[in-house]
Structure 1
Amino acid sequence: MTVRVAARLARYVRGAYPPVPSAMVALTWAYGIGGLFAAVDPDGPGRRPGGGTAVAAASVLVDLLLMRALDDVRDLEYDRRFHPGRPLPAGVVRTGDLAVLYRTGAVVLLLLNAAWPWRAGILLCQLGYAAGAAGVHRRWGRPSADRLFTSLLVGLPAPVLLHLYLYAGYLDETGQRADRYGLVAVVVAVLAAGHPELAGKITREPRAGERTYVSTLGVHGSVTLALAVPVLSVCLLVRFSQAPAGWTSAAVLPLVLPALGAWRFRRGGPRWPRAEPPLYLLLSFAGYAVLGLTR
């Protein structure tokens, strides 16, 4: 990597993936999902995160950066029209630079997880799948990024594999064996993450060519779905949580944020409030971390 490429990538990271908030998200994600596995595991011992969880948090930080880079490359033409200030369409960085970033980040992830070969293998599968899907889209335009639900399904294996990587870490730390409760936790997390994806694209009056679920479901349908997925996530968590009842009940509290976002939007806002969806996810993951510590 040349000095110029490194400088452009540093500017890209500052603009597209600010280090401090991104590190907070990665920490909350790794510790929260690990706590979620403990919270729903009826046979799980008391869990106290260790060095493996710290490595997982660093891995999530790098992994999410690589997924961000792939998304930016895939959406370049769209962003030139609707988000020209983002680093890639603004010319701060080149697509070739992001390819270098992806290869370098993949090596970093494998080195970080070299002590746990099967964890590294899960990450390798995720990186390969995500790069393959992005390559197919860039080469043949399939699936069309305008078909949001199809794109969502095609992209779903990437976050699922990331959660399975974290599950592998939980199993290593606790000495447990994989069971159906791990799958329950993954579904809880995926549903929770569905709210930012859906709510972040809700607008009352889409611009021509804008990608939004409103184009398919209408405003009312999009709002209903954006509220349904976090409710389903919480219901599933409450049903399977092995944590004390009082702490489990507290897991419902982050639902206040989607409700508040819907209330503000229905009062006439042109778009769903931008800060609410990521804050909801952050608080949900923090709640999972607490639940795991109460076992």
Structure 2
Amino acid sequence: MAFGVGGIGLFAALAGERIPASAIPMMGIVAVTLFADLLIMRVVDDIRDSDYDRIANPQRPVASGAVAHRDLSTLCALCVTVIVVANLSFPGGLFIIIVQLLYTGVLTALGQRFPATRGDNLVLNVLVGFPVQLLLYVYLLASFGNIRDDAPTAVVGGLGILILTLCAGQVEFGKKLARRPAVGERSYTNSLGYRTTLLLTIGTGPLAAALFAIAAPVSPVAKAFVALPAICVAGIGIKYLSHKDNQWPAAVSALGLLVTLVAFAVVGAVG
């Protein structure tokens, strides 16, 4: 819910618009679609990572055998049905999601043939997987265009997608950041180095907030409201660096993203 409303709120704020009350039905479509779509992505990730999880995270449902692949296939089919039904009145959005799901399917099939694309090479994995996220952002942009068809979308869309990508970066890099990764652990520290990964974890949020502050025609109070979560995450990052802890607290990055999305939603609604 926060992802959908926050993303649309971001586009509205960048365009100098407000989300009207008449957009509530469209928001409902977006919320249902994103919930079903992200559930499919979670299932796909668990299946792709099952070999690794059997060693590193044996308690995971797929790795432990607690959930059968047949049950997951049924769940995915149900989610696809929900997505199609929810977007019958929004064919442009439905097309974007179908393209995203097809790309995910191709990526999963390639992972069976080329193990390097399954996640062991994190940099390659994030590059080939980025279109999955990108198409979700495009879906949100299309949803905003459906709500405010008179609003500019080219520059607003490009800048909004960049900001959302940066916001998501703090979670992506933070959940795989360790000062001293264990043997065989999937960590960006192994491929990018500890300092670079830490910088990406605590720096992408403030950079996104800075871009928003520069581009969005909103009040200084609104800009400060959006920037606050990123500043807090960066502050915790400085504390983490000084205390010499090994594992970055990934929940901090996730909470920072959630609060930022809520801030986008509020600013997009009230201006």
Q: TM-score range by the shorter chain?
A: over 0.9
Letter in 2 for 1:172: N
Letter in 2 for 1:206: P
Q: Are 2:218 and 1:250 aligned?
A: no
- 1:46 Cα deviation (Å)? 5.4
- 1:178 Cα deviation (Å)? 3.2
- 1:144 Cα deviation (Å)? 5.0
Q: Are 2:65 and 1:101 aligned?
A: no
Per the alignment, do residues 144 and 102 of structure 1 end up closer, same or farther by CA in structure 2, a change over 3 Å counting?
Answer: closer
For 2:175, the equivalent position in structure 1 comes to: 200
For 2:42, the equivalent position in structure 1 comes to: 68
Structure 2 unpaired stretches of 5+ = none
- Give per-residue Cα distances to partners, 1:84-130, cap 9 Å, x unaligned: 11111111112232222222211210111011111111110111111
* Separation in 2, partners of 1:280, 1:228: 12
**Are 1:38 and 1:47, in contact at CA under 8 Å, matched by a contact in 2?**
no
* Separation in 2, partners of 1:179, 1:218: 36
Letter in 2 for 1:222: T
- 1:142 Cα deviation (Å)? 4.3
* Separation in 1, partners of 2:19, 2:135: 25
For 2:106, the equivalent position in structure 1 comes to: 132
**Are 1:33 and 1:166, in contact at CA under 8 Å, matched by a contact in 2?**
yes
For 1:180, the equivalent position in structure 2 comes to: 155
* Separation in 1, partners of 2:90, 2:41: 22
Q: Are 2:8 and 1:40 aligned?
A: no
- Give per-residue Cα distances to partners, 1:203-232, cap 9 Å, x unaligned: 122111111011122222211121221122
**Are 1:200 and 1:274, in contact at CA under 8 Å, matched by a contact in 2?**
yes
Decide which of 206, 227, 242 is 1:231's aligned counterpart.
Answer: 206
**Are 1:47 and 1:292, in contact at CA under 8 Å, matched by a contact in 2?**
no
- Give per-residue Cα distances to partners, 1:40-89, cap 9 Å, x unaligned: 014x4554441111111111111110000000011000111111111111
TM-score by length of structure 2 reads 0.94
TM-score by length of structure 1 reads 0.86
- 1:271 Cα deviation (Å)? 0.5
**Are 1:119 and 1:168, in contact at CA under 8 Å, matched by a contact in 2?**
yes
For 2:264, the equivalent position in structure 1 comes to: 288
CA RMSD of aligned residues (A): 1.6
Per the alignment, do residues 274 and 227 of structure 1 end up closer, same or farther by CA in structure 2, a change over 3 Å counting?
Answer: closer
- The count of corresponding residues between Structure 1 and Structure 2 is 268
Q: More displaced, 259-268 or 145-154?
A: 259-268
* Separation in 2, partners of 1:186, 1:71: 23
Structure 1 unpaired stretches of 5+ = 1-26
Structure with the larger helix share: 2
> Which structure 1 residue ranges, 4+ long, deviate > 4 Å from structure 2?
none
Identity %: 28
Letter in 2 for 1:191: L
- 1:293 Cα deviation (Å)? 1.6
SS of the equivalent of 1:79 reads: helix
